[in-house]
Chains A and B, each alone.
Chain A
Amino acid sequence: MHETRHQFHESLRALEAQALDGLDLVIQQLDRSLESLSYQDVELAGMVVADDDRIDGRYLEVHQGILSLLARQAPVAGDLRIVAALLHVIRCVERMGDQCVNIAKLVPLSGYETPKDKDILDAIERMGRLARSQVSQAKQAFAGRNVELAQDLVRQDTEINRLNREIFRRAVEIGDNLDLREWAMFMILVARCLERVGDNTVDIAEQTVFVVTGLFREFADASNPPETAPTP
């Protein structure tokens, strides 16, 4: 059947692309903030902070686009769910951007020639890789309306949470060296930022399931530890 409301559906697709491309920006920021952390690159960290404006701008654009679509096109059913989900998604994008900025801000504070703990560093590195892959997977799942992929994100997120707890435990047991202890505190903060990034990708996964099924099902997060794997 010939598709009516062609313009509207085109606009909706474009809006979705805009929102999801924000996730690419997040990945970029994530990479750079972690790089600046591992190389103590203050300049790079500064760039991350400045570039957050792009993500904020993206947020405003998508938000305005959504308002416009709601006012002018009165979307219903599946279209309405997409629009509502995009509001959540772009919020998550903005928050993840803020977390990257938080990481970048910790770089100058954590000192230059400080002693470092290898275990903690490894864990942070692993968390960083996981967070990155989660963001990428969230984008894939939403764009592809892939419920299985969305649910898999929850599994990955449990790993990030576990790493977060491990870093905390390790930092508590780090010893008496003042400089080391201070560094470890900063690493806890970094870990928390990465853990929040993971939570946001789980939010996007929930939105994916909502768009597809029309049901909103809160997946396990920090306030909701799972007893068993969530079922649709």
Chain B
Amino acid sequence: MNTPDTTSKEQTDMSTAGGLPPERPQEAPAAASTAAVSAKAGHAVRLQDLNAFYGSQHAIKDVSIDFPPNEVTALIGPSGSGKSTVVRCINRMHEEIPGARATGSVKLDELDVYAPGVDVTAVRRLIGMVFQKPNPFPTMSIFDNVAAGLRLTGTKNKDLKDLVNRSLQAVGLWDEVKDRLNSPGIGLSGGQQQRLCIARTVAIEPEVILMDEPASALDPISTLKIEELIDELKERYTIVIVTHNMQQAARVANSTVFMLEGEVIEHDETNKIFTNPSDERTERYVTGKFG
């Protein structure tokens, strides 16, 4: 079932309650932490019989994974195992590659993002993505970068300043940049740029955040800061993280999925995967006997 890129203007209901998620309550700028915002029921992502192709190459084979709400799930596996492809299928970025297609279902709560007639851009607004290499928009200031998500989607939001403020606080960047919000986004260090990209993602208020090796281009201290941030963010979002750094998966994820050659080999609590995995291949991969 090929789903062509539709430009349907109708927004499919995301849950049985229908409509867009409710407005976040306004916060005084001084109250920084994301956990202070009223608790919201998290959203689950469920992949069922997902298959993805690059032309004739069958990259992902019958993958079914449940990503529990408000938890961090890590995808690990050797290069070419398909973990990045899985994540890109969730927000349908996979089909932006010429010749790429996917079949199966990806459900965000009750909504199957691959159902016919679903507006791809609307889906992507519900799902944020952070990439391996920090990619702030070079022509925009720090403020504009954080606001970019809203401006690019044409969302009218009267209190942009407050939203940018809160997003920067949520990623722990506010104190470092509050005096230079108008300076170029690319003037920051690598670790700060990545946090800026996370702030940009958080500003569109998604339900799920996908991270494709978010710290692999960063130095160790920035990596640890990002990991701490992920730990805080899971209070509000469901997070899926792809990482080739097993120690990172071990530190950050509640549950871990091990993939090999496009298939899911094992999916279990992180603790179990790293102390007593069930599958021989998982054991051999995490102990470094191949990969």
A and B touch in the complex (CB under 8 A): yes
| B246 contact set on A, CB distance < 8 A | 76
Known contacts A74-B247, A76-B250, A81 near B275 by CB under 8 Å: yes
Known contacts A74-B247, A76-B250, A4 near B290 by CB under 8 Å: yes
Separation of A215 and B272 alpha carbons in the complex (Å): 11
Complex contact A1–B289 (CB within 8 A): yes
Q: Which residues of chain A from 1 to 34 have a CB within 8 Å of any chain B CB?
A: 1-5, 8-9
Q: Which residues of chain A from 57 to 107 have a CB within 8 Å of any chain B CB?
A: 74-81
Complex contact A1–B283 (CB within 8 A): no
Min C-beta distance of B278 to chain A, whole Å? 9
| A1 contact set on B, CB distance < 8 A | 284, 289-290
| A5 contact set on B, CB distance < 8 A | 287-289
Complex contact A80–B274 (CB within 8 A): yes
| A2 contact set on B, CB distance < 8 A | 290
Check: A214 CB closer than 8 A to any chain B CB. Answer: yes
Separation of A80 and B287 alpha carbons in the complex (Å): 9
The contact of B276 among A4, A8, A9, A81, by CB within 8 Å, is A81
Complex contact B287–A75 (CB within 8 A): yes
| A79 contact set on B, CB distance < 8 A | 287
Separation of A4 and B286 alpha carbons in the complex (Å): 11
**Which A-chain residue is minimally distant from B291 (CB atoms)?**
A4
Given A76-B286, A79-B287, 10 other A-B residues pairs in contact with their CB atoms under 8 A: A4-B288, A4-B291, A5-B287, A9-B289, A76-B246, A76-B274, A76-B275, A77-B286, A214-B276, A215-B276
| B287 contact set on A, CB distance < 8 A | 5, 75-79
Separation of A98 and B62 alpha carbons in the complex (Å): 59
Q: List 25 A-B contacts (CB under 8 A).
A: A1-B284, A1-B289, A2-B290, A3-B290, A4-B288, A4-B290, A4-B291, A5-B287, A5-B289, A8-B288, A74-B247, A75-B287, A76-B274, A76-B275, A76-B286, A76-B287, A77-B274, A77-B275, A77-B287, A78-B283, A79-B287, A80-B274, A80-B275, A213-B276, A214-B276
Complex contact A77–B277 (CB within 8 A): yes
| A8 contact set on B, CB distance < 8 A | 288
Min C-beta distance of A94 to chain B, whole Å? 26
Min C-beta distance of A154 to chain B, whole Å? 22
In the complex, which range does the number of interface residues on chain B fall in?
10 to 19
Separation of A5 and B246 alpha carbons in the complex (Å): 14
Separation of A5 and B286 alpha carbons in the complex (Å): 11
| A9 contact set on B, CB distance < 8 A | 289
Separation of A124 and B140 alpha carbons in the complex (Å): 86
| B273 contact set on A, CB distance < 8 A | 77
**Which B-chain residue is minimally distant from A75 (CB atoms)?**
B287
Min C-beta distance of B291 to chain A, whole Å? 7
| A77 contact set on B, CB distance < 8 A | 273-277, 282-283, 286-287
Separation of A3 and B247 alpha carbons in the complex (Å): 20
Separation of A214 and B291 alpha carbons in the complex (Å): 23
Separation of A80 and B282 alpha carbons in the complex (Å): 14
| A74 contact set on B, CB distance < 8 A | 247
Complex contact A4–B289 (CB within 8 A): yes
Separation of A193 and B246 alpha carbons in the complex (Å): 46
Digit string of B20-58 for contact with A (CB within 8 Å is 1, else 0)? 000000000000000000000000000000000000000
Q: Which residues of chain B from 137 to 165 have a CB within 8 Å of any chain A CB?
A: none
| B277 contact set on A, CB distance < 8 A | 77
| A3 contact set on B, CB distance < 8 A | 289-290
Separation of A172 and B213 alpha carbons in the complex (Å): 72
| B286 contact set on A, CB distance < 8 A | 76-77
| B275 contact set on A, CB distance < 8 A | 76-77, 80-81, 214
**Which B-chain residue is minimally distant from A3 (CB atoms)?**
B289
Separation of A79 and B276 alpha carbons in the complex (Å): 10
| A213 contact set on B, CB distance < 8 A | 276
Separation of A10 and B275 alpha carbons in the complex (Å): 20
**Which B-chain residue is minimally distant from A4 (CB atoms)?**
B288
**Which A-chain residue is minimally distant from B250 (CB atoms)?**
A76
| B247 contact set on A, CB distance < 8 A | 74
